[in-house]
């Protein structure tokens, strides 16, 4: 009788296989985390938005373009002799702005247009000088006698044109949730810097509506944000009991914080002397609306909004004391960026583990 061949099926112990797989997976996760740490560290420190920057010159000096050496801020005489106006590119209540040229470099020349607002103009110059950092547009020179300020030129202009810029073929690759969230982080970083500036706690008062906020900031060619207009930056000094009021007119609308609105109802006419002052938490109230603009409606932006929901709800607390600080908002934004980058890099990791 013929024996049937006996096939022995070898089975590998499932525990051994899963252990090897798990070890490889954990090694991959650790490698990813290391790379992610290096990337985010580069973003936070070297991307140009730390308060200290080795590329900045000492006080009273500047560098422009590829020039290695620092030059002193241009004086009245140097501005009059060396700077050539090209065309007017904007005009506000305080100043007129000209695209200009200095030693083959495009620069921006701002000049006072309303003599009644010269104090605002000089305050903006004072802030610009004192707050020079990676968050603030670079000052190149000024002339107080002629009410003139010279600053670095950024061809992409103010943040009002962000969405139009992102539809230009050259920049379409930037139109992602990741890049948009990084812009929101830049914005909150600037608010944090102003709230803990070398001068003390400063409030961004030129912010009564979204369009006005966006006009105060510039978009750089490498897609970061600089604050450009510092004419309305009053100082909060709690130890001296000093709070602020953003102007002398009644503010309306949901964009401004509740404490900035007239508290006595329609039956009582607005009087500036009766309007209670407030602190820097007005800036925190506006963060969700500004960030919503940054995030836009690209793929993934709704997921980002979902992760930011709790901190944005806290920013909208009616009681200013219950709102988070700018540092706390910034910390949350950075954590969300880290989390979402990790999940995008290794989708399904959580389920595999």
Instruction: Report the pLDDT value the prediction gives residue 87, as an integer from 0 to 100.
Output: 96
Q: What domains are there in the chain, each with its CATH number?
A: 71-152 (3.30.200.20), 157-345 (1.10.510.10)
Instruction: Report the pLDDT value the prediction gives residue 33, as an integer from 0 to 100.
Output: 56
In angstroms, the CA 16 to CA 58 distance is: 62
In angstroms, the CA 285 to CA 282 distance is: 5
In tens, the pLDDT along 114-141 reads 888 999 999 999 999 999 999 999 999 9
Instruction: Report the pLDDT value the prediction gives residue 65, as an integer from 0 to 100.
Output: 79
- Name the pLDDT band for 350 (thresholds 50, 70, 90): very low
Instruction: Report the pLDDT value the prediction gives residue 18, as an integer from 0 to 100.
Output: 63
In tens, the pLDDT along 320-341 reads 999 999 999 999 999 999 999 9
In tens, the pLDDT along 46-62 reads 343 445 565 688 999 99
The residue written with tokens 């970083």 in the block is 189
Among candidate residues 331, 312, 324, the one with its CA nearest the CA of residue 280 = 324
Of all residues in the chain, what percent carry a pLDDT higher than 70? 82
**pLDDT for 209 beyond 90:** yes
Written as six digits, the tokens of 52 are 């200290």
Predicted structure pTM score: 0.84
Among candidate residues 91, 79, 193, the one with its CA nearest the CA of residue 140 = 79
Question: What 8-state DSSP symbol labels residue 168?
Answer: S
């Amino acid at each position: 009788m013929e024996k049937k061949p006996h096939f022995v099926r070898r089975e590998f112990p499932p525990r051994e296989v899963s252990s090897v797989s798990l070890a490889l997976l954990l090694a991959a996760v650790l490698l990813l985390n290391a790379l992610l740490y290096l990337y985010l560290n580069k973003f936070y420190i070297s991307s140009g938005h730390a308060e200290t920057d080795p590329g900045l010159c000492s006080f009273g000096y500047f560098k422009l373009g590829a020039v290695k050496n620092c030059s002193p801020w241009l004086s009245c005489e140097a501005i009059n002799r060396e700077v050539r106006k090209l065309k007017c590119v904007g005009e506000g209540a305080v100043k007129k702005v000209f695209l200009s040229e200095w030693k083959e470099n495009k620069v921006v020349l701002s000049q006072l247009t309303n003599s009644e607002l010269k104090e605002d103009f000089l305050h903006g110059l004072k802030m610009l000088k004192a707050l020079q950092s990676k968050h603030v547009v670079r000052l190149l020179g000024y002339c107080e006698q002629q009410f003139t300020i010279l600053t670095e030129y950024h061809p992409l202009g103010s943040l009002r044109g962000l969405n139009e810029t992102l539809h230009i073929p050259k920049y379409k690759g930037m139109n992602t949730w990741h890049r948009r969230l990084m812009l929101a982080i830049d914005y909150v970083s600037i608010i944090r810097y102003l709230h803990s500036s070398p001068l003390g706690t400063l409030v961004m008062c030129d912010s009564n509506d979204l369009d006005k906020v966006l006009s105060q900031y510039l978009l750089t060619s490498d897609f970061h944000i600089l604050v450009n207009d510092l004419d309305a930056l009053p100082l909060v000094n709690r130890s001296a009991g000093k709070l602020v009021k953003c102007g002398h007119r009644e503010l309306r609308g949901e964009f401004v914080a509740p404490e900035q609105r007239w508290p006595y109802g329609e039956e009582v006419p607005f009087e500036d002397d009766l309007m209670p002052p407030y602190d820097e938490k007005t800036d925190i109230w506006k963060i969700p609306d500004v960030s919503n603009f940054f995030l836009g409606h690209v793929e993934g932006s709704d997921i980002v909004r979902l992760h930011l929901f709790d901190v944005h709800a806290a920013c909208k607390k009616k009681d200013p004391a219950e709102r988070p600080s700018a540092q706390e908002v910034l910390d949350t934004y950075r954590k969300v960026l880290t989390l979402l980058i990790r999940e995008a890099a290794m989708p399904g990791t959580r389920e595999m583990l």
